[in-house]
Structure 1
Amino acid sequence: MTFTLTSPAFQNNAPIPDQHARDGENLSPQLDWSDPPEGTQSFVLIMEDPDAPSAPTFRHWAVYDIPRDRRHLAPGRSSGANTESLPHAFNDFGNLRYDGPQPPAGDPPHHYRFRLAALDVPKLDVPDQPYAGDLWEAARAHILSEAELVGTYQA
């Protein structure tokens, strides 16, 4: 079987509903995953926009040290106040939470990559409240496999 990441909110390469946009309700979508590789000790998730004009990749969300027995993140759990016990990294808006799609008006649809990595360590050795880019860099050496879900959004 293949390590997969899905969402009941949108299909792969399909539009992300407005409720998940930063100018909408800013609610994180439910994410579900299955078939992580043998040896998985934890997961790390990052959401990024490679189409952002301000940076090569703009990071909207990062959650790490997700226990190996988890298979989903509930919807709306990571916007606003951090209501889950899972640690978050600072996104590129400077927040320790989910901040949804917010492409500039008039831009063509942006692609938002939800990347979930299965790691060979139970916890990442990172400073408390790292930046999302630094978190992903620290995770790279421990990735056993990666699953991706892409959604699009246009203002």
Structure 2
Amino acid sequence: MAEPEQVIPDNTASFVLTSTDIAEGESLGKKHELNVFGGNGDNLSPQLTWAGAPEGTKSFVLTCFDPDAPTGSGWWHWVAFNIPDDVSSLDTGVGTVTGMPAGTIQARNDFGEKKFGGACPPPGVVHRYEFRVHALNIEALDLDEGATPALVGFMTHVHTIATAKLTAVYTR
């Protein structure tokens, strides 16, 4: 008789990312478009809410990445880390206007700024914007605001216990 297969519960299935500003697969609004490089939007970060983080979560990392940018390596629009574990939402504009929760560090994005940088694909081209919240098993990444998105990503990957994702699109 064969041994019964051990079933390991998936504690990440209930970790979700939602928004009152954007929906999965739908278009970002003009308020989330960049206001330079030909864009004329409001450059506001979208409202985001996450729920169902697994037991053992001690902090969060938030990223927004455009895999369709014509760079060969995509484009980082937003990288924020050391978000406290008692934070579960961010209001519209918090990444650009009003400021992040205490203790949070915003790394330099690919625009060279330590904040959210809005969507600005070439005219007529649809790009995807992948918003991800990573639940980490440590209270803080041992990095400062000078960390590159790649370094934040590496350290995040090492400590992630769950990831919630919301992908929006945009074209001008």
Give SS of 2:167's match.
strand
1:69 matched to 2:86? The reply is: yes
CA RMSD, aligned part only? 1.3
Partner of 1:4: 16
Unaligned runs of 5+ in 1: none
Taking structure 1 as the reference length, what is the TM-score of the superposition? 0.94
Find 1:37's aligned residue among 33, 51, 54. Answer: 54
Structure 1 residues 110-129: aligned runs within 5 Å: 110-129=127-146
How many angstroms does 1:83 deviate by?
A: 2.1
Q: Moved runs in structure 1, 4+ residues, more than 4 A? A: none
1:101 matched to 2:119? The reply is: yes
Partner of 2:105: 87
1:59, 1:133 within 8 Å by CA — same for their partners in 2? no
Task: Provide the identity percentage.
Answer: 35
Give SS of 2:154's match.
helix
1:87, 1:129 within 8 Å by CA — same for their partners in 2? no
Give SS of 1:144's match.
strand
Q: Partners in 2 of 1:129 and 1:72 — Cα distance?
A: 25
Change (3 A) 1:97 1:4: same
Partner of 1:49: 66
Report Cα offsets for 1:8-36 as digits up to 9, x if no partner: 11211100111011130000010000000
Q: Partners in 1 of 2:74 and 2:127 — Cα distance?
A: 11
| Number of equivalenced pairs | 153
2:105, 2:144 within 8 Å by CA — same for their partners in 1? no
AA paired with 2:27?
A: P
Unaligned runs of 5+ in 2: 1-12
Taking structure 2 as the reference length, what is the TM-score of the superposition? 0.85
